[in-house]
Structure 1
Amino acid sequence: MSGKQPTRGRQEASVAETARALLDNAGPTYASASHVTLKDTPTPLFQLLTLSLLLSTRISSEIAVAAARELFRAGLRSPRAVRTADRRTIISALGRAG
């Protein structure tokens, strides 16, 4: 060993390689299965929160992911959209999930 510290670029590449290896081994994430594109913006963060809440309930992860997809497909992608949606819209979306 030369005693040199890895460069920042190499560390970032190593982190990216590790993340890719984990995803290749474990398969797709719940977020990607729910069609949530992760970004540091309000809509995807709200979608991730919604998905997290569904995944924490006593239903299978497959149903939770399907429920999230149906809610998002129904346009319920923001707090305002959920707040202004009628009860029937939400129940119908959840019902389509299984």
Structure 2
Amino acid sequence: MDIEIIAKALKELGHPTRLAIFKRLVKAGEQGISVGSVQEELVIPGSTLSHHISGLASAGLIKQRREGRTLFCVVEYDKLLAVISFLQDECCIDELN
């Protein structure tokens, strides 16, 4: 994966509030969680939460789906695994040489 894409993902996760939101979304699993539930659990003002969710979505770390009037956020697990894999890919390779 392109280093610029990985850097953007890590940049978004580098903010404490976004990291807390993302961690909560990971905990929710593949069904996701409503934005309202995240707001209640993490006690984040709506406009602030919207801003941070937008950042996570623009980095491709989450997707959103609407069910009626409720907006759900779901982690893009393929992207998360790609970021983790990028960090692990060359682990300890110098020790083998």
TM-score (norm 1): 0.31
Q: Using CA pairs below 8 Å that are at least 6 residues apart, which structure has the higher relative contact order? A: 2
Q: Which structure has the bigger radius of gyration?
A: 1
